[in-house]
């Protein structure tokens, strides 16, 4: 039974390839482009189905790392620069608003 199925599958592949070679160039190019698009779509679907956990972990790790960096910057800014204020994640020192030297 398995041998028969393999033989039939091989015969079908050979017939499809022979038909593909017999097609005119323009139709063959169109078929190839369509198959390439379908293959890329299937590959994207497989990647999406198998890689969502990895992307989720990477996103979570990136958010945690960004939060750590922001916290570390705020702490170091508060230790070294006492006079200033935070506006969101932007530190504005008080001496930033001093008048500038005329040139």
Specify if 71 maps to a domain: yes
Residues 31, 23 contacting (CB under 8 angstroms): yes
In this predicted structure, what is the pLDDT of residue 81? 55
Average pLDDT score over residue span 82-86: 71
In this predicted structure, what is the pLDDT of residue 49? 87
Residues 77, 84 contacting (CB under 8 angstroms): yes
Specify if 26 maps to a domain: no
Task: Give yes or no for residue 3 having a pLDDT over 60.
Answer: yes
pLDDT tens for each residue of 21-74: 999 999 999 999 999 999 999 999 998 888 888 889 999 999 999 999 999 888
Average pLDDT score over residue span 73-80: 76
Specify if 40 maps to a domain: no
In this predicted structure, what is the pLDDT of residue 91? 75
In this predicted structure, what is the pLDDT of residue 94? 74
Cα distances (Å, whole numbers) of residue 46 to 28, 43, 52, 90, 91? 27, 5, 10, 42, 45
Question: Phi/psi at 37 (nearest 5 deg)?
Answer: -65, -45
User: Range of 69's domain?
Assistant: 55-79+87-96
How many domains is the chain built from? 1
Residues β-bridged to residue 91: 86
Specify if 63 maps to a domain: yes
Task: Give yes or no for residue 82 having a pLDDT over 60.
Answer: no
More reliable by pLDDT, 86 or 17: 17
Specify if 70 maps to a domain: yes
Specify if 42 maps to a domain: no
Specify if 24 maps to a domain: no
Specify if 64 maps to a domain: yes
């Amino acid at each position: 039974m398995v041998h028969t199925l393999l033989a039939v599958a091989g015969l079908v592949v050979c017939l499809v390839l022979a038909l593909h070679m017999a097609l005119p160039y323009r139709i063959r190019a169109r078929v190839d482009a369509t198959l390439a698009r379908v293959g890329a779509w299937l590959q994207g679907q497989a990647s999406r189905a198998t890689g969502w956990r990895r992307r989720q972990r990477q996103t979570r790790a990136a958010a945690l790392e960004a939060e750590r960096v922001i916290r570390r910057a705020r702490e170091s800014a508060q230790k070294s620069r006492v006079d200033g204020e935070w506006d969101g994640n932007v530190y504005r020192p008080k001496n930033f608003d001093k008048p500038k030297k005329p040139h």
